Structure 1
């Protein structure tokens, strides 16, 4: 059984116009915003997926053309953005969509030590290189770990999503997200901390 402070999300077998989802058209709330010209939509965490979200959703964007060979792999200049917003269904427009990524719902999956989820919400990160100092800069600014996106959690070709992701976005690694909370435990902001691969 998954502890209440841990949430495991994986790619579902069908798409979703609202709620937790990955790829496809970004949320309508971003229509016409500058972020869609500079970044591509990756995923949305549904309201209440984690206690720190409350009634808001969180959408993740990756800088257009981002590569692990680039210099923007660590906080505060990392080429990934996290934006809190009110719940919003997918836009009718495809602006900001990631062409190399399928479109599907994100669903809760059972905790399994053998299987890494695509999204892991937990009290502590699961590091690949086991190098906690990667978080020094983001933690020095008062942020605490919230969740990570693990490329080991992409669907495999033999599953129901052949070629869901055209190429790994983070070098078959993980990107770790941190945030600062208010007195009620809700995050005020979410920032990407670093990539580990």
Structure 2
């Protein structure tokens, strides 16, 4: 893992990502809003559960495996993921899958988000990052809104480590459609994974918080 020791083991550094308007290109590593990756075109059953339907949120190219992406889906029903916000009962879906272009189909598209590209990641000192604005912070230590142990209890028991967070403080002003609310109530979503020296496995939604 390039720079993985400093980012995910010693956690002295982190990678910061930002969002900007426009299409994904060679200088982007994913997108937020818009259509889900083409990979999910024939996999509605993998995402939707009975009457509970999901919106696509974002996709990020895996920072240590360029052939993979991590995509996130959130329930259409806000109360569903408000009531189920901590692992192992967090209803946010996190799925690692082969790298895929954006679909032309809009079956998962969130009407409240305008598609923005996610920039290439920039390595930053972890301590410095705590005072910066960002869309995504990968590695280092999580910047928490509520620093309460019970968020981590089950994750720690099952040997999950912090992988990245998505912080709504880093949304561009152009990301939200008029009259739509922040999906996480101007909060942060925290993604965890099994982090080994040479591999990252089983990314999951750890919890989300807002003030």
1:23 aligns with 2:33: yes
What is the SS of the residue equivalent to 1:12? strand
Corresponding position of 1:39: 54
Q: Decide whether the 8 Å contact of 2:142 with 2:162 is kept in 1.
A: yes
Detail structure 1 runs of 4+ shifted over 6 Å in the superposition.
none
Further displaced range: 140-149 or 8-17: 8-17
User: TM-score, normalized by length of structure 2?
Assistant: 0.78
Cα distance between partner residues in 2 of 1:32 and 1:83: 15
Per-residue Cα deviation, 1:85-127 (whole angstroms, up to 9, x for no partner): 1110011111111111110110147656543211110221111
Cα distance between partner residues in 2 of 1:108 and 1:90: 17
Corresponding position of 2:110: 98
Corresponding position of 2:155: 138
For structure 1, the residue ranges without an aligned partner over 5 or more in a row are: none
CA apart distance, 1:39: 1.4
Corresponding position of 2:166: 149
For structure 2, the residue ranges without an aligned partner over 5 or more in a row are: 1-5, 8-12
RMSD between aligned residues: 2.4
CA apart distance, 1:30: 0.6
Report how many aligned residue pairs link the two structures. Answer: 187
Further displaced range: 118-127 or 61-70: 61-70
Q: Decide whether the 8 Å contact of 1:40 with 1:97 is kept in 2.
A: yes
Cα distance between partner residues in 2 of 1:67 and 1:170: 11
What is the SS of the residue equivalent to 2:153? helix
Per-residue Cα deviation, 1:143-164 (whole angstroms, up to 9, x for no partner): 11100111111113xxxx2645
Higher helix content, 1 or 2: 2
User: TM-score, normalized by length of structure 1?
Assistant: 0.83
Cα distance between partner residues in 2 of 1:196 and 1:61: 17
